[in-house]
Amino acid sequence: MKLVSAVTVLIVMLAMIVLAQGEKRSFEPATFYKAACLECHGSEAEKKFNPDLPEGQMIDSILNGAKAEGSRDMPAFAEKGIDETKAKALITYMKSIRE
């Protein structure tokens, strides 16, 4: 009985550690931008980014990719862990560095 209780406590503690690790890995738009977007969009989001487009269109492009004329296509980032919330944070960051 004591062994079962000890194992249960250990499992709960491990689960808490795993959850805490996930919280530490919060999304940082600036870090993501520098790693995945800077090369095509520039240091001030001055290339291939129109902040006046509807937000839904920008989110769709980030999540699902987009065709680009005369250059590399925009890759789909949904398959790389970006969701709508992260896409919105990235758009906000890109708009902020253009100012």
- Domain count along the chain: 1
E strands, the chain, are none
Alpha-carbon span 40 to 32, nearest angstrom: 13
In a domain, 65, yes or no: yes
Give the pLDDT score at 18.
54
> For position 69, which CATH number holds?
1.10.760.10
Q: Are 77 and 27 in contact (CB under 8 A)?
A: no
In a domain, 39, yes or no: yes
In a domain, 8, yes or no: no
Tokens linked to 68: 């680009």
Q: Are 41 and 65 in contact (CB under 8 A)?
A: no
Per-residue pLDDT of the chain (99 residues; tens, 9 = 90+): 666 555 555 565 555 565 555 444 799 999 999 999 999 999 999 999 999 999 999 999 999 999 988 888 999 999 999 999 999 999 999 999 988
pTM: 0.73
Tokens linked to 82: 């970006």
Q: Are 70 and 99 in contact (CB under 8 A)?
A: no
In a domain, 6, yes or no: no
